Amino acid sequence: MGAVTVGNVTIGDGNFAVIAGPCSIENRDQLLEIAKEVKASGAVILRGGAFKPRTSPYSFQGLGEEGLKYMKEAGEAAGLLTVSEVMDSSEIELVASYVDIFQIGSRNMDNFSLLKRVGKSGHPVLMKRGYMSTIEEFLLAAEYLLKEGNTNVILCERGIRTFEKLTRNTLDLSAVPIIKKMSNLPVIVDPSHGTGRADIVAPMSKAAVAVGADGLMIEVHPNPRKAISDGQQTLDYQAFAALMEEVGELRAFLYNQQPFKPMAKLKAL
């Protein structure tokens, strides 16, 4: 009840999972390094975009299948599950052959054709809230997956569009306790997209823990300033490791859980 298990990772029911990685997959060696680093800090799932939904068709559109191959290799090498976005029903089999969890992006939350087909695939899904969707619409979109028999659904609050200009989106943390009252699905929080600001990812992550989220999704890159996309909201390795330590200790305090083990190891060094 209330949890999704993929491989050896359970999300929900007291199990907190951190997903980390770059916005876009840029090249093989970098992704292998990122995977190793985020694993060392306590992440259990590697994220990375191969097919990128970009506002402009003239922006970088992602490495495509090549990127997915790197994901598979990097996840296996580091001992991490992988998640990447599927943007079109014609790519479902392709993406499923490389990554453990589909991501339904914010712009596709109400792409009901895609949802139906992803639902039929039975493949685990991380579904992001549409950035202009109500919580009720979010839960009804999840029903498109559940109705086809796919119950391996993880929800992700990632901010909604408002008039505020100092953040990219307004991260709606109230969605977490509300969804928990209305649904059994695990809910994680993406403070990277939810704020668009690396400088407040840490406090918003702690707030997500305090509000009862089942996990976090964090953008990490060795050199955020040089990232192909979303650098302004991306943490470097050091900031991510520090965040994981804080988050792990807060989890331990609030929910009587062990801090992330890899973190403990880091401390011992």
Residues making contact with its own copies (CB under 8 A): 51, 53-58, 87-91, 107-108, 110-114, 116-117, 130-132, 134-137, 140-141, 143-144, 147, 160-167, 170-174, 176-178, 181, 194-195, 197, 199-200, 203-204, 206-212, 250, 253-254
To its own copies, the closest distance from the beta carbon of 79 in angstroms equals 30
Nearer Cβ to its own copies (3/211): 211
Based on CB atoms, which residue is closest to its own copies, 144 or 260? 144
Distances (CA, A) of 120 to 83, 149, 268: 18, 7, 46
Compute the distance between CA of residue 12 and CA of residue 252 in angstroms, rounded to an integer. Answer: 15
Q: Considering beta carbons, is residue 119 or 224 the nearer one to its own copies?
A: 119
Closest contact distance (angstroms) between CB of 33 and its own copies is 29
Nearer to its own copies, 34 or 141 (CB): 141
Other CB atoms within 10 Å distance of the CB of residue 262? 18
Q: How far is the CB of 111 from its own copies (least distance, A)?
A: 5
**Closer residue to its own copies in complex, CB, 40/92:** 92
- Least distance to its own copies from the beta carbon of 76, Å? 27
Beta bridge partners of 219: 21
Least distance from C-beta 11 to its own copies, angstroms? 19
At 155, the amino acid letter reads: L
Cβ-count burial 43-79 (b if 16+ within 10 Å, e if not): bbbbbbbbbbeeeeeeeeebbeeebbbbbbbbbeebe
Assigned token pair, 122: 């039975």
CA pair distance 216, 18, nearest whole angstrom: 5
Residue 34 Cβ vs its own copies, minimum distance, rounded to whole Å: 25
The residue (of 181 and 267) whose beta carbon lies closer to its own copies is: 181
Dist. CA 86–CA 267, nearest whole Å: 37
